[in-house]
Structure 1
């Protein structure tokens, strides 16, 4: 289940006569799994003309119940305002959302889904959620809890985890 680059790294360790360090294989397995999930996600969204970023904005807008500003979307999606602008441009071109200037303050823009964007967001969110559930369907509740705890412990040792 290792990606070729990770397999090559482990092979090089052996060639150099170094023992496999504890956790290296598991780290590479986790990275390979994350990459496979990302690739599957992209493959599942592509027929709708969406990237993961565009999909995130659709479900954020659909779940908001009201218009959001580009700044709010960037903050909630965890991306830059420049990234959001590009994503919004594409979604607007595809008639999935509309931007409206605030009549009280012409500098403010509000983003709302169109009917087509609303329908697509609802459908894809449900299908995407069900697909993710299938990935973990063979794990018992106890196994999922154990896995979650282990992942949290590993996360805490990363720079990002320590920064929290």
Structure 2
């Protein structure tokens, strides 16, 4: 289940007599799983001409009723304004959204899903959530709750998670 690079790191850690091999293996298993999910996600979105970033923009716009200003999209997606501009450019070229001047304040822009963008967002969101949910169908409700709790505990030991609540 480990990627080749993680196997190589495990072998080197074992060769050096590292004391925490079990913890290293757990981390590398989690990283390998995350990489596999990301790769599968990209494979599922590619036939629609979408990256994960483009999909997130469609999802956010759809969830907001089809319209948001670019700065709010960037904030919700957790990306810079420059990144959101690139994502919007690509989606606009594909005919999935339009940029329009705000009716009340012509200086402000609104990003609006086209009918094609709305349809694609709905279709892919349903497919995507079913696929993600299916990843955990081998776990019963108690196992899912336990996994969530355990991941939350690990999160608290990351630099990002220090001081946060799981």
- TM (norm. structure 1) is 0.96
Deviation at 1:66, TM superposition (A): 4.6
What is the aligned partner in structure 2 of residue 107 from structure 1? 107
* Cα distance in 1, alignment partners of residues 44 and 103 from structure 2: 39
What is the aligned partner in structure 1 of residue 146 from structure 2? 146
Kept after mapping to 2: 8 A contact 1:97/1:113: yes
Establish whether residue 43 from structure 1 lines up as the match of residue 47 from structure 2.
Answer: no
Structure 2 unaligned regions, length at least 5: none
What is the aligned partner in structure 2 of residue 84 from structure 1? 84
What is the aligned partner in structure 2 of residue 161 from structure 1? 161
Establish whether residue 29 from structure 1 lines up as the match of residue 29 from structure 2.
Answer: yes
Cα separation, partners in 2 of 1:16 and 1:112, compared to 1, 3 Å: same
Kept after mapping to 2: 8 A contact 1:97/1:111: yes
What is the aligned partner in structure 2 of residue 18 from structure 1? 18
Cα separation, partners in 2 of 1:62 and 1:128, compared to 1, 3 Å: same
* Cα distance in 2, alignment partners of residues 159 and 20 from structure 1: 19
* Cα distance in 1, alignment partners of residues 44 and 66 from structure 2: 27
Deviations 1:43-89 (A, max 9, x none): 00000000000000001111101520011101111111111000000
Kept after mapping to 2: 8 A contact 1:57/1:73: yes
* Cα distance in 2, alignment partners of residues 3 and 107 from structure 1: 50
Deviation at 1:13, TM superposition (A): 1.2
Aligned residues: 164
SS at match of 1:17: coil
